[in-house]
Amino acid sequence: MEIRLYQKGDSKQVVKLLQGTVNIVDTQSYAEIETESGMLDHGQSQDWESFFLDSFTIVAEINSTIVGVAQIEDDGHINCFYCHSDFRRQGIGGQLYTALEDYAKTKRIPTIYSETSSSDRPFFLQMGFEEVQKQKVLIGGKVPTHFVIKKDLPS
């Protein structure tokens, strides 16, 4: 398995990964609602290409297949973090997370944060995040619970 920078042309595989992950893994979280509302179905790969290229985005790849993706913005917001359902609990998420944290430290970002579903919250807590707030957000006409989490990084 290789962790590498996202490259132009990866969007087709990554969008397929996102769609498959939210349909299989997160059936009770806000990701299902995103799927139902069509947020992942707009189909314009050029829009996704820009989204992934505009921030620090990395992928986990096994035998030329992308099995994970993670993205962090320059303000420390982890905007995207997915691992293929067939490859969960194999250390891929931990390696993706470590790469994001290393990037944040290099950029001297003092705090990293994200919003996460209840199904992914334990992973982030295990990585040293703390829950800042539990919240409900209107997505696609439904109101799922998710959590704002953060982690202060050493200077």
- The whole model's pTM is what? 0.80
Residue 63: which region, alpha, beta or left (left: phi > 0; alpha: psi -120 to 50)? left
- Residue-wise pLDDT tens digits, 27-43: 444 444 444 434 444 44
- Residue-wise pLDDT tens digits, 44-56: 444 888 888 989 9
2-5 and 56-62 beta bridge pairing: antiparallel
Strand partners, 71: 57, 80
- Residue-wise pLDDT tens digits, 64-82: 999 999 999 999 999 889 8
Strand order, beta sheet including 78-83: 2-5, 56-62, 65-72, 78-83
Both tokens of 104, joined, read 């944040």
The domains located in the chain, with CATH, are 2-109 (3.40.630.30)
Q: How far apart are CA 32 and CA 13, in angstroms?
A: 19
Question: Which comes out higher in pLDDT, residue 16 or 35?
Answer: 16
Q: How far apart are CA 138 and CA 20, in angstroms?
A: 22
Check: CB of residue 1 under 8 Å from CB of residue 95. Answer: yes
